[in-house]
Amino acid sequence: MTESRSRIADDLARLFNDAAGLAGGVRREAETLMRTQLERILSHMDVVTREEFEAVRDMAANARSENERLEKRIAELEARLAGRPADAPGAGWNAEI
């Protein structure tokens, strides 16, 4: 009788182990299917990758700082030109702007 209980316990353990393996396989298959569907949906949408977004964000930040630098330089040049007397060289150029 002890041997039959041991065999039943072994069979049950094997059955549960196989069921757990099957459940893991089903989970992996479901994840793969969901990932494939999501990638298909995203490929039809106009969505950028994180790398593309970060690259454009960095370019915009660089352009903004360059714009600020150029604004300061223009303001300095305009102030310098405004400070010149009317008969100074370049006064005609200032009037044409």
CA 74 vs CA 48, 58, 64, 94: distances in Å: 36, 24, 15, 13
Q: Break the chain into its structural domains and give their ranges.
A: 1-46, 48-83
97 residues of the chain, pLDDT tens digit each? 556 678 888 888 888 888 888 888 888 999 999 999 998 888 888 888 899 999 999 999 999 999 999 999 999 999 999 986 555 555 554 545 4
Predicted model pTM:
0.44
The span from the CA of 82 to the CA of 78, in Å, is 6
For position 90, what pLDDT does the model report?
A: 55
